[in-house]
Structure 1
């Protein structure tokens, strides 16, 4: 059974909105310390010299990982979370990934190319982000911590097929799909998400508590919430 985290790091997407995870975080009953991360050059977080890629963002996240920690990440934040977990698997106890590529190639999964419109609306975005094509597909099998995948079935940016791909590649993954939810499900489905996150942090994938009827080493079936 994985260790229980004593810190939760909340990672936003490319909006850099450090408030994105507040609705879910405020509803959690898990006692771990909560820390909300911002991305230099994104949203209201000022740029920082030397940030030139996802690996640099992961390094900033890892600076906060000083004890058993769970990462709760949306969209772009999911790529950073995976990079961080690959670097410090002994301290990352759980991953919660929502509507993210997770670092896999999604070009064949009917995902909408949202970057041009997003860049036009956010002209100060770092150039490296627009060019980034991080591919971690071949490394996902290294992640042995339990992973909760949360998706909406009305998200053109990260369709359910992306979550299904990640569920196939991650050894300890469970996918939940919210009918009618889109890329903002952290706001629109905060109650349901908080319940699932709380359960995940207590049960993970390797226990049978909380009605988590899962067998060690057995691929979990996708669920609809």
Structure 2
């Protein structure tokens, strides 16, 4: 039996929505209503909105969510997911955060500085996105929806210590660790990630 839930997938700093394609394909039979969100000016996509700042992009992404949704986010896409949960609590029914490396102060954590490497590899990513630093941690207690945290235990960009902190701060969060998972584990281990998401949604289906 298929679910009417809308799955809204958000990419990380690459802005490439195809990052989530394999996971979406796994979930599609039960959750056919989904969106792989593209970001204007990222990964070769046009920018007719002339978005020129991180705050403007965040507003635009959150504005695209117009129906009851589960937001599934990779890395810095987690900033948009958390903002959506804070700004649209009536629409965001659950979050899935994978390897989130944004939305909190990373100073206390031993994280690899990924920005220089990303600027070299992703020459079409706007500089203002790479440099964005957003701390939403004072608002985490307001997120009273189910949250699935998926992390890789070999991720130097967003180590498990960040996931454990989020699990403590978010009132209804559960954490699962992907063995040998690096920062792109959601793409590399799509079958495992899709399985965790599906079990999470089934578990909380009466709530969402």
**1:30 to 1:59, Cα distance in 2 relative to 1, 3 A:** farther
**1:142 to 1:206, Cα distance in 2 relative to 1, 3 A:** farther
- Structure 1 window deviating more from structure 2 (194-203 vs 12-21): it is 194-203
Q: State the alpha-carbon separation in 2 of the partners of residues 7 and 206 from structure 1.
A: 15
Q: Which residue of 1 aligns with 2:95?
A: 95
DSSP 3-state at the match of 2:161: helix
**1:58 to 1:21, Cα distance in 2 relative to 1, 3 A:** same
Q: Are 1:24 and 2:20 counterparts?
A: no
- For the 8 Å contact 1:150–1:176, the answer to whether it is kept is yes
- For the 8 Å contact 2:141–2:171, the answer to whether it is kept is yes
Q: What pairs with 1:1-225 in structure 2 (closer than 5 Å)? A: 6-28=5-27, 29-204=29-204
Q: CA deviation at 1:119?
A: 1.0
DSSP 3-state at the match of 1:21: helix
Q: State the alpha-carbon separation in 1 of the partners of residues 95 and 54 from structure 2.
A: 17
Listed as ranges, the gaps of 5+ residues in structure 1 are 208-225
- For the 8 Å contact 1:149–1:173, the answer to whether it is kept is yes
Q: Which residue of 2 aligns with 1:210?
A: none
| CA displacement 1:53-73 (0-9 Å, x = unmatched) | 443233223333222101000
TM-score of the two chains, using structure 2 as the length reference: 0.90
- Structure 1 window deviating more from structure 2 (87-96 vs 198-207): it is 198-207
- For the 8 Å contact 1:5–1:70, the answer to whether it is kept is no
- Structure 1 window deviating more from structure 2 (38-47 vs 177-186): it is 38-47
Q: State the alpha-carbon separation in 2 of the partners of residues 135 and 112 from structure 1.
A: 18
| CA displacement 1:84-110 (0-9 Å, x = unmatched) | 111001110010000013401112211
- Structure 1 window deviating more from structure 2 (26-35 vs 180-189): it is 26-35
Measured on the aligned residues, the alpha-carbon RMSD in Å equals 2.0
**1:48 to 1:110, Cα distance in 2 relative to 1, 3 A:** farther
- For the 8 Å contact 1:17–1:43, the answer to whether it is kept is yes
DSSP 3-state at the match of 2:167: helix
Q: State the alpha-carbon separation in 2 of the partners of residues 172 and 54 from structure 1.
A: 28
